[in-house]
Structure 1
Amino acid sequence: MMIEDIGILGMGMWHGPAVPHAQAPPTASGRAVDDPWSGTFDRDGTFRLLGLTLPAARYPRTLAAARRATRAPFRGAVRRRVLPADVPVSAAEAEAADEALRHAGTPTGRIGALLVQSTVPDSPYPTNAALLGHRLGLRATATWALDGACAGPIAHLTTAPSLIRAGVAEYVLCVQSCAFSRVNDPGVSAFLGLGDMAVAFVVGHKPGARIVTAWSADGSSHSATATAARKQGAGPERDGHAAQWRLRLTFDHTLQPAVLKTLGRRLRVVTASVLAGARWSVKDVALFVPQQSAAWVPAYLSEELDIPDGALFHTYDDYANVGPVDIAVSWYRALSEGRVHDGTRVLAATGGAGFVYAAAAVRW
């Protein structure tokens, strides 16, 4: 279903300090990193990675990005953001939200709903939604934690118009964050390409704006990417539970190949659905914003989905993989750089841990 005359009015982000790869060691622990994501190249240029085979003739931009990534300390990123240890995630979320409200010209008192996805919140439970509302001074506001994994921005953009149409809110503030550095294991390959970020946007009535979204899900590979609790040290135990635990991001390399091999096919399905709903052809797409789970993935998805040359836009070089903030931080940068303005046709597509697959066709 097409949502008409509701759209994004303003955006903001957390402007944390950049950490160039020259200023940080490849691993915090000094241990060698097990990196099955580096891939290999055949003599004819074919790229092979975890069961995925990409011929050079079909995927030239993907292979060029993959070659650059194999020589870079952060798997192709030039720099990334790391949340300082003394800064709560909710503070970064509040900074992004404040900027989004300013850019939208929307007073805090007119926000009727707050949707928050804190991938690594200040506490596992309760998560950050109400705390962020408190930081922003929101009181009589529907305040929800809404998690769409790496499709979080699309989940929020799907839900916010419904709240507006139902009369729950005139304006909806949507916030997504990740603090991967706080659950990242420096001994695994993901450490090299994960960053921290928070982005926010305000949704409200906007004449001429259009939104179409589509979704699918497959939980059979749920544990391919997960967060597990690990015991730290040999502290005392009580009632059979260890006294000290730490959450760690984990990757199951027996399941990851299946996820990777089906990513393109699954995103073709949801992308075809939103293009049909928006009554666009792929040639109408002015800007394509995909997930950026690795340096070569944006190029791969643009070639897999036959996106027109010049339409691809991503921010992996500056932020690395920021998971559920990938899409929104690229929207923010595209706006800041003048790549997006009212009327621009923007396509977004992503697969998210769990696994969910989503696409959005947005006439800005």
Structure 2
Amino acid sequence: MTRAAVLAGLGGCLPPRLVTNEELAARLDSSDEWVRSRTGIRQRYMAEAGVLTSDLAVGAGSRALKSSGDPHVDALVVATTTPDRPCPATAPTVASKLGLGHAAAWDVSAVCTGFLYALASGAGLIAAGGAERVLVIGAETFSRILNPADRSTSVIFGDGAGAVVLRAGDPDEVGALGPFDLGSDGEGVELITVPAGGPPPDGMDQGPAPEDYYFTMQGKKVFWLAVQRMGQSAQTVLDRTGWRVEDVDHLVAHQANHRITRRLADEIGLPRERAVSNIAEVGNTAAASIPLALAHAHAAGALTPGDRVLLTAFGGGLTWGATTLTWPAVERS
């Protein structure tokens, strides 16, 4: 009998410190108008010293488990670019803090596409019979890897976490995830990257420059690649699901930039007003962006059971992906 992963719980978590455009503009050659016009962002949240990615993941995960009505899962997948440590993975720490016992726990690293890769991992585990319930979390403290002097990146990103609980179910029931499309292109590794990191290369006379430990992005090239790859991936899963573009009630794309989201909607032929957006309130939260957008839209009552939802993302690697989902009745956490 075919098994499918069904969305059964949802939760989000933001650190308490709110950072406005005006606060950043005070130390950068920028302004609130400049940031809003180019990104659509007016504020973001940043973790204070001592707040770890695992802490935000626990906040989102606990809310998702409460929303699902059952605190037990067989596995946990954490998507993050900013783990607590390079080694070991952050997921076992999160599992321990959540009281998940000896559940399987591992990290996925695909930058802004990380949540979709993690979602596919959890769905695949359920489909293969390896788990009945899986908690999937996207969590980031991206502010820790930003160059505070770089206007092009420091105004874009924020910290946060979002999570969903998946349970085994029937492919035809409301809440079941549809087919996935995932891709990568390592030729674009330098477009979205932290140049330094890990053990030093053999034969190096000196270490990397201090700025090489910060996140960098070639924005103009990324813009068009993101639109192209997400558009292609979205169309692929629509075809596999048997949906027409006009059947889609909500597009939930990675919240990278409001211009990218609007251009993507145009690219696939979907009215812009069907694109869910929370980037103005939280900024780009990388792997946390899609589940946070879902959590905020659900809390606002914008998602109705039976709505057809298209998820898609693009991130460093380069990586991209998409899937479909018919929205279920989910308790608000």
Shared fold by TM > 0.5?
yes
Query: Is contact 2:231-2:264 (8 Å) kept?
Result: no
Alignment partner of 1:209: what SS?
coil
Per-residue Cα deviation, 1:222-275 (whole angstroms, up to 9, x for no partner): 111111348xxxxxxxx9776997831123x4xx54433333232232111111
Amino acid in the other structure paired with 1:227: V
* Selected match of 1:291 from 243, 254, 263: 254
Instruction: Give the alignment of 1:133-282 within 5 angstroms.
Output: 133-188=95-150, 189-206=152-169, 207-210=173-176, 211-229=178-196, 247-251=213-217, 253=218, 256-282=219-245
* Selected match of 2:304 from 341, 347, 353: 341
Percent of aligned positions with the same letter in both sequences? 25
Amino acid in the other structure paired with 2:83: P
Equivalent-residue separation in structure 2 for 1:74 and 1:179 (angstroms):
23
Equivalent-residue separation in structure 1 for 2:148 and 2:64 (angstroms):
33
**What's the CA shift for 1:73?**
9.0
Structure-2 change in CA distance of 1:347 and 1:333 (3 Å) = same
Query: Is contact 2:76-2:134 (8 Å) kept?
Result: yes
1:45 aligned partner:
none
Query: Is contact 1:212-1:274 (8 Å) kept?
Result: yes
Equivalent-residue separation in structure 2 for 1:5 and 1:242 (angstroms):
48
2:330 aligned partner:
none
Q: Give 1 or 2 for the bigger CA radius of gyration.
A: 1
* Selected match of 1:100 from 52, 64, 70: 64
Alignment partner of 2:255: what SS?
coil
The question of 1:21 aligning with 2:9 is answered: no
Query: Is contact 2:110-2:317 (8 Å) kept?
Result: no
2:331 aligned partner:
none
Structure 1 runs (4+) greater than 6 angstroms displaced: 239-246
Query: Is contact 1:5-1:205 (8 Å) kept?
Result: yes
Query: Is contact 1:214-1:359 (8 Å) kept?
Result: yes
* Selected match of 1:332 from 273, 279, 295: 295
**What's the CA shift for 1:162?**
2.0
Query: Is contact 2:250-2:276 (8 Å) kept?
Result: yes
> What is the count of residue pairs matched by the alignment?
314
Q: Alpha carbon RMSD of aligned pairs, Å?
A: 2.7
2:201 aligned partner:
none
Higher strand proportion (structure 1 or 2)? 1
* Selected match of 1:351 from 286, 289, 314: 314
Greater displacement, 265-274 / 169-178: 265-274
> Normalised by the size of structure 1, how large is the TM-score?
0.79
Query: Is contact 1:148-1:155 (8 Å) kept?
Result: yes
Equivalent-residue separation in structure 2 for 1:8 and 1:20 (angstroms):
32
> Normalised by the size of structure 2, how large is the TM-score?
0.85
**What's the CA shift for 1:4?**
6.3
Alignment partner of 2:312: what SS?
strand
Structure-2 change in CA distance of 1:264 and 1:4 (3 Å) = farther
2:9 aligned partner:
10
Alignment partner of 1:131: what SS?
helix
Query: Is contact 2:4-2:127 (8 Å) kept?
Result: no
